[in-house]
Amino acid sequence: MQVITVAARKGGVGKTTLATHLSVLATQPGDRPVLLFDVDPQRSLAWWWKLRTKDTPHLIECDARELPKILDVARREGVAYAIIDTPPHAENSISEAMRVADHVLVPTRPGPFDLAAVATTLDLAQRIGKNPLAIINAAPPRTGSLEPSIVLEARLLLQRMGARVAETVISQRVALSHAIISGSTVGEYEPQGRAATEIAALWAEIIREPLKVAA
Ligand SMILES: Nc1ncnc2c1ncn2[C@@H]1O[C@H](COP(=O)(O)OP(=O)(O)OP(=O)(O)O)[C@@H](O)[C@H]1O
Ligand SMILES: [Mg+2]
């Protein structure tokens, strides 16, 4: 079982959005089950899950302190992936969810205030002994083959902070929100769309990453 925690102390950067869209991609028919964990008292993930007509992935709403016990059971039950959506600001919950993770994903928007704030989350992950993967989310879409300058600058800054940065950038796309309000994900809602392609590329990148731990 691989445990993927999506964390950022800053609010509204796309934690729940990424957890949602990635979780359905992780769920392949006939494969071992995928568990989604909502440890955010806002319960945004649960709100989306209740809109779903499909009963996969499975959802668990709990407190971050309960994660180690529940994950032990999940491991024994043959769960393939556990994807954990965390609250903003709540350092204790974020730390608990990072501690149990094989992959720590840290989404950030590419704006200056977002990048100024992301360092504390990256530091927290590193202090816990994880090697977080920063994901640039809600970026202006590419207009040609080059990345928009705001994305290039964000990537450089994140690298200077010592972070690994996902090659795949998730653009600001309305399809990601439209899918959510219909209880689905972009892979289900608009499978040939550009948002679905980006999410699929990000998932491929995450699962081919070796499970590294910071030195
Ligand atoms: N790539 C994107 N394209 C379009 N809209 C996006 C994108 N990423 C996030 N959003 C929108 O931005 C808002 C915040 O996203 P989301 O709720 O996923 O962030 P969050 O980090 O989980 O927030 P919180 O800290 O409050 O839990 C939502 O309305 C979501 O639909
Ligand atoms: Mg959220």
Identify the three-state secondary structure at position 85.
strand
Supply the DSSP symbol for 6. E
Report the distance separating Cα 40 and Cα 145, nearest Å.
Answer: 38
Instruction: Enter the DSSP assignment of 148.
Output: P
Q: What is the pLDDT averaged over residues 63-86?
A: 97
Token pair 């996969």 in the structure block, residue: 56
Domain ranges (residues) in the chain: 2-206
Q: Pairing state of beta strands 34-38 and 58-61?
A: parallel
| CA atoms within a 13 Å half-sphere pointing along the CA-CB vector of 129 | 5
Is residue 110 in contact with ligand 1, taking CB distance under 6 Å? no
110 vs 166: CA distance, rounded Å: 13
Ligand 2 centroid from CA 44, angstroms: 6
Q: Which pLDDT does position 215 carry in this prediction?
A: 40
Residue 29 banded pLDDT, cuts 50, 70, 90: confident
Query: Using N-to-C axis directions, what is the helix angle for 15-26 and 44-51, rounded to 10°?
Result: 40
Q: Mean pLDDT across the chain, nearest whole number?
A: 94
Decide whether any atom of ligand 1 lies within 6 Å of the 184 Cβ.
no
pLDDT (tens digit, 9 = 90+) per residue, 76-101? 999 999 999 999 999 999 999 999 99
Q: Is domain 2-206 given the CATH code 3.40.50.300 in the classification?
A: yes
> Does the Cβ of 185 fall within 6 Å of ligand 1?
no
Query: Is residue 168 lining ligand 1, measured as CB closer than 6 Å?
Result: no
Task: Give alpha helix (H) positions in the chain.
Answer: 15-26, 44-51, 67-76, 91-99, 112-127, 149-160, 174-181, 186-189, 194-208
Tokens in use for 42? Answer: 């806002």
Mean pLDDT confidence for 2-28: 96
Token pair for residue 54?
């499909």
Secondary structure (3-state) at 150: helix
Q: How far apart are CA 204 and CA 150, in angstroms?
A: 24
Distance (Å) from CA 210 to ligand 1 centroid? 27
Quote the pLDDT of residue 16: 98
Protein residue with least CA distance to atom 13, ligand 1: 12
Residues 6+ apart with CB under 8 A from 36: 19, 20, 23, 45, 49, 57, 58, 59, 60, 82, 83, 84, 85
pLDDT in tens, 173-211: 999 999 999 999 999 999 999 999 999 999 999 998 655
Structure-token match 């070796």, residue found: 210
Amino acid 211: pLDDT = 55
pLDDT at 28 exceeding the cut of 90 = no
Average pLDDT over residues 100-109: 98
